Amino acid sequence: MNLTESIKSAIMNVLANKMRSLLTMLGIIIGISSVIMITSVGNGFKKSVSDTFSQMGVEGIKLDIKDDKEIKDSDYFTDSDISFLKQIPDVKYVAPCVMNTCNVNLRTLGNTKMCVVLGSNDELKYASSIKVTSGRFLLSKDVTNHSSVAVIDSLLSRKIFGRENSVGEKIKAKFKNTNLDLTVVGIFESEDVGIASFGMPSYIYVPYTTLLDVSSSQNLDMIRITAYDKNKLDSLATQLVRLLEIRHNTSDKYYAQNSVQTMDTINNTLNMITTFIVFVAAISLLVGGIGVMNIMLVTVTERTREIGIRKSLGATDNNIKFQFLVEAVIITVIGGIIGIIVGYGGGIVIGNIVNIMPSFSINSVIITVLISSAIGIIFGVYPAGKAAKLDPIEALRYE
Amino acid sequence: MIIKAQNITKIYKNGDIEVKALDNINFCVAEKEFVAIMGTSGSGKSTLMNILGCLDVLTSGNYFLDGQDVSKLKSNQLALIRNKKIGFVFQSFNLLPKMTAFQNVELPMIYANVEAAQRKKIAMDALTKVGLEKRIDHKPNEMSGGQRQRVAIARALVNSPAIIFADEPTGNLDSRSSEEIIKIFQDLNAEGKTIVMVTHESDIAQHTKRIIVFKDGRIMSDAPVENQLMVGENS
Ligand SMILES: Nc1ncnc2c1ncn2[C@@H]1O[C@H](COP(=O)(O)OP(=O)(O)OP(=O)(O)O)[C@@H](O)[C@H]1O
Ligand SMILES: [Mg+2]
C-alpha cells in the first residue's frame, strides 16, 4: 500500500467525522494560532522598532542630561564640548542638538503651524539618516557664519508653499522673542517611521549657532556621536560620559543612550514575552496532542472490525499502523494549517488595533507544519501500534 | 495439493479452561476441488477455516498451503499469504460499510500494490463476473444480502488466489440468494478454482463435489458427492 492510497483513505476517514475531527484539532489550533499570532505581531513590532532606530541613526550614541537630577548651569553641554569630543580618536562625527519651537506661516492655508526647530551642524547628516532630496544639508560654513538657512521636510514644504521643492524660498519663523527670516536651502524626505510617525511634529533644521542667537541660553540639549567602530559603542559611551563629567567637574549628571543597546533591551523584553507565550502554547499543544491520542484510541476501538477485515484481506501490521499514523498526522497538520490561518488573522486584527504591521514568514508556516506533523506522529504512534497489534480473528468477531 | 493438513490441533485456553476445538485433523484438498465442510454447531468448522485461511495459528501439527509450510510463519508473512493466495468469504459479508462495492473489491489489490488503472480493470471484471456491473458505486447498506455476498466473492477473486474459503456464505441468505451464490461458486469451480465451503445445509452441500463432516473437532466422514446437483437443473 503506497503513500497516496494511505493519504486518500486517511482524508476520507477524517472527513467522514467532520465535527469530531474539528474538535480533536481544537487544542492544536489554539496552540499553533496563539504562537503564530504573538510571533507575527512581536516580529512586526521588532521590525518597526528597528526601522525607527535605523532611521534615527542606529549606530550612534546619544549623550544627554539626566532629567531627575538637580542641574547647575555649569553642567550643560557647551560649544566647547563639541570641539573637545571631536578630538577623541574613536569618535567619527559629533552633532550637537539644540531644540526650540517656532511658528511658521502657512502660505496655502493662511494660518500658522508650530514647528520643532533643531539646531545642529553639518555632521548630523551622518549621525542620523536624513535624506536630502533637493538642495543641500547644513554646511560647516553655515555654522561658523551663523547663517539664516533652513532645511525642512518635504511635508512641511508642501504645507507652507504648496509644493515639495521650495529651495530658495523664505520662511518667517516666529520665536518667543524674535523673528527670523530663514532661507530654505534643502529639503529632506519626510520620514515614515511606522509607529513613531503618529503625531510627529514637523522639523526644521538650522545651524545651531543661529538658533543659539535667538535663544535665551547658550546650552546644548543633546549631543549625537557616531563611532568608527560600532562594536565599541558600549565602552565608548561610558568613556565619553566620564570625560564630560571630568570636564564639567560634576558626577552622575549625564547618560549615554546607545541605540543598539536600547534596541537590545526592547528585543529582550519581547523575546521574554514570546518565550512565555510559546511555553503556554507548548502546553496547549501537549494537551491537544493528548486529545488526538485519546480520539485515535477511541477510533481504533470503533474500527476494530474494519481493522480485522483489512487484515483478512492481506493488510500487514505495518499497513494498519501506517494508516492510523497518517490519519493522526492529517488531523494535526490540518489543525496546524487552520491554526496558521487563525493566528495570522488574529495577528492582523491585533496589529490593526495597536497599529503594527504583523510580520509573516514562510519559515513559520514550514516550521508549524513540521511541528504539527511531529505531534501527530508522537501522539499517533501508540494508538496506531495498538491497531496494528490486533488479532485478526478477534477483530473480525468484534461487534 | 493445494491443502495438506497434518495432525492439526487447536486448543483455546481461557484461563484454566482448555477447549480442544480441533483434534488431530488430517486431510488434503487437491486443485479444482469443491469441498463442503459440515458438522454440528461447535464442531470446529470455523476454527478450521480460520487456520486454513491463515487468520489464526494452529497449536500443533503442520499445514502446507500450495506446497508451502505456513504453520510457523510470522504475522507479516501470513498477511502476504492471505493477500496473494487466499480469498475469504464470510457469513456476515465483512464489507467496509463506508466504501462502495468497487472500493471494497479494489482493497486487496491496494495491499498488493497493483497500480490504479489495472486495479480498475480487474475490479470491474470481477464485479461483472458476479453480475454487479451496475452496482459498482453502491455502498453495502444500499444492497441486498445476496448482492453484498456477491461483492465479497468478487473481492475474494481479484488477486487470483490459489484457493477460496467460504464460512457459511449462505448462512444469512434466503434460498433464492443462496442459489445465486452457489451458482457462482459452481461456475468458478468449473473454471478451475479450488473452493472449500462450510455449510449447515445438506442440500447446499450436495452442490459440491466432496463432503467432510466434523464432530467434536474430529473428521467423522469424508466422501465424494455421488450426484452433484447443479444449480438450474432441478428447478
Ligand atoms: N476464541 C475462542 N476461545 C475459546 N473457545 C473458542 C473460541 N473460538 C471457538 N471456541 C470453541 O471452539 C469450538 C469450535 O468452535 P467453532 O466456531 O469452530 O465451531 P463451528 O463448527 O464453526 O460452529 P458453528 O456451526 O456454530 O459456527 C467451540 O466449542 C467453541 O466454543
Ligand atoms: Mg462457525
Residue A303 makes CB contacts below 8 A (sequence gap 6+) with A387
Interface contact A393, partner B, CB < 8 A: yes
Three-class SS string for chain B? Answer: CCEEEEEEEEEEEECCEEEEEEEEEEEEECCCCEEEEEECCCCCHHHHHHHHCCCCCCCEEEEEECCEECCCCCHHHHHHHHHHHEEEECCCCCCCCCCCHHHHHHHHHHHCCCCHHHHHHHHHHHHHHCCCCCCCCCCHHHCCHHHHHHHHHHHHHCCCCCEEEEECCCCCCCHHHHHHHHHHHHHHHHCCCEEEEECCCHHHHCCCCEEEEEECCEEEEEEECCCCCCCCCCC
Interface contact A385, partner B, CB < 8 A: no
pLDDT: which is higher, A217 or B56: B56
Q: What is the mean pLDDT of residues A136-158?
A: 89
Nearest CA in chain A to B93: A309
Interface contact A4, partner B, CB < 8 A: no
Amino acid at the residue A12? M
Q: What's the B68 CA to ligand 2 centre distance in angstroms?
A: 26
User: Does residue B7 form part of some domain?
Assistant: yes
Nearest CA in chain A to B80: A314
- The pLDDT score that the predictor gives to residue B142 is 96
Q: What is the mean pLDDT of residues A87-103?
A: 88
| Predicted confidence (pLDDT) at residue A305 exceeds the cutoff of 90 | yes
- Considering only the beta carbons, identify the residue of A12, A16, A319 that sits closest to B111: A319
Tally the domains of chain B: 1
The three three-digit cell numbers of residue A308, written as one number: 480485522
User: Does residue B154 form part of some domain?
Assistant: yes
- The pLDDT score that the predictor gives to residue A197 is 44
Tell me which residue has its CA closest to atom 18 in ligand 1.
Answer: B44
pLDDT level of residue B60 (50, 70, 90 thresholds): very high
Q: What is the mean pLDDT of residues A246-252?
A: 85
Q: Average pLDDT, whole number, for chain A?
A: 86
| Predicted confidence (pLDDT) at residue A70 exceeds the cutoff of 70 | yes
- Considering only the beta carbons, identify the residue of A1, A306, A392 that sits closest to B96: A306
Q: What's the A334 CA to ligand 1 centre distance in angstroms?
A: 45
User: Does residue B203 form part of some domain?
Assistant: yes
Task: Test B111 with A306 for CB contact under 8 angstroms.
Answer: no
- Considering only the beta carbons, identify the residue of B80, B90, B96 that sits closest to A314: B80
Ligand nearest to the CA of B218: 1
H helices present in A77-183, as ranges: 79-86, 124-127, 140-144, 154-161
- The pLDDT score that the predictor gives to residue B235 is 47
Q: What is the mean pLDDT of residues A106-123?
A: 82
pLDDT level of residue A5 (50, 70, 90 thresholds): confident
pLDDT level of residue A236 (50, 70, 90 thresholds): confident
Among B111, B113, B118, B168, which would you mutate to test the A interface (most chain A Cβ atoms within 10 Å of its Cβ)? B111
User: Which atom from ligand 1 is nearest to the alpha carbon of B48?
Assistant: 18
User: Which atom from ligand 1 is nearest to the alpha carbon of B40?
Assistant: 25
User: Rounded to the nearest 10 degrees, what angle do helices A18-56 and A317-354 cross at?
Assistant: 40
pLDDT level of residue A69 (50, 70, 90 thresholds): confident
| B46 Cβ below 6 A of ligand 1 | yes
b/e map of B160-191 (b: 16 or more CB within 10 Å)? ebbbbbbbbbbbbbeeebbbbbbebbbebbee
Minimal C-alpha gap between B224 and chain A (Å): 30
Q: What is the mean pLDDT of residues A173-188?
A: 88
User: Does residue B231 form part of some domain?
Assistant: no
Domain of B23, in residue numbers: 3-224
pLDDT level of residue B67 (50, 70, 90 thresholds): very high
Q: Which range has the worst mean pLDDT, A198-202, B97-101, B140-144?
A: A198-202
Interface contact A271, partner B, CB < 8 A: no
Interface contact A316, partner B, CB < 8 A: yes
pLDDT above 70 as % of chain A: 94
Minimal C-alpha gap between B83 and chain A (Å): 4
Task: Test A313 with B108 for CB contact under 8 angstroms.
Answer: yes
ipTM of this predicted complex?
Answer: 0.96
User: Rounded to the nearest 10 degrees, what angle do helices A362-389 and A259-302 cross at?
Assistant: 30
| Predicted confidence (pLDDT) at residue B152 exceeds the cutoff of 90 | yes
User: Does residue B159 form part of some domain?
Assistant: yes
pLDDT level of residue A191 (50, 70, 90 thresholds): low
Task: Test B84 with A314 for CB contact under 8 angstroms.
Answer: yes
Task: Test B50 with A16 for CB contact under 8 angstroms.
Answer: no
- The pLDDT score that the predictor gives to residue B234 is 52
User: Does residue B230 form part of some domain?
Assistant: no
pLDDT: which is higher, B216 or A34: B216
pLDDT level of residue A53 (50, 70, 90 thresholds): low
CATH number at residue B80: 3.40.50.300
Among A19-28, A66-75, A251-260, B142-151, name the most confident range. B142-151
Number of CB pairs < 8 Å for A and B? 63
Q: What is the mean pLDDT of residues A205-214?
A: 91
- Considering only the beta carbons, identify the residue of B55, B76, B98 that sits closest to A312: B55
| Predicted confidence (pLDDT) at residue A192 exceeds the cutoff of 70 | no
User: Does residue B168 form part of some domain?
Assistant: yes
Contact A41, A356 (CB under 8 A): yes
Q: What's the A295 CA to ligand 2 centre distance in angstroms?
A: 34
- The pLDDT score that the predictor gives to residue A391 is 95
- The pLDDT score that the predictor gives to residue A321 is 95
Q: What is the mean pLDDT of residues A349-370?
A: 87
Task: Test A312 with B53 for CB contact under 8 angstroms.
Answer: yes
Q: What is the mean pLDDT of residues B16-30?
A: 94
Tell me which residue has its CA closest to atom 12 in ligand 1.
Answer: B21
Give the CA dihedral A380, A383, A388, A392, nearest 10 degrees: -150
- The pLDDT score that the predictor gives to residue A306 is 95
| Predicted confidence (pLDDT) at residue B177 exceeds the cutoff of 70 | yes
Q: Cβ contacts (< 8 Å) between A316 and chain B: which residues? A: 75-76, 79-80, 111
| Predicted confidence (pLDDT) at residue A364 exceeds the cutoff of 90 | no
Dihedral sign, Cα of residue A134, residue A138, residue A141, residue A144? positive
Q: What is the mean pLDDT of residues B181-192?
A: 96
Contact B25, B6 (CB under 8 A): no
Q: What is the mean pLDDT of residues A261-287?
A: 81
pLDDT level of residue A193 (50, 70, 90 thresholds): very low
pLDDT above 70 as % of chain B: 99
| Predicted confidence (pLDDT) at residue A198 exceeds the cutoff of 50 | no
| Predicted confidence (pLDDT) at residue A200 exceeds the cutoff of 90 | no
- Considering only the beta carbons, identify the residue of A305, A309, A314 that sits closest to B112: A314
Q: What is the mean pLDDT of residues B206-220?
A: 96
Tell me which residue has its CA closest to atom 29 in ligand 1.
Answer: B42
| Predicted confidence (pLDDT) at residue A51 exceeds the cutoff of 80 | no
Q: Which of B25, B46, B56 should be mutated for ligand 1, with most atoms under 8 A from CB?
A: B46
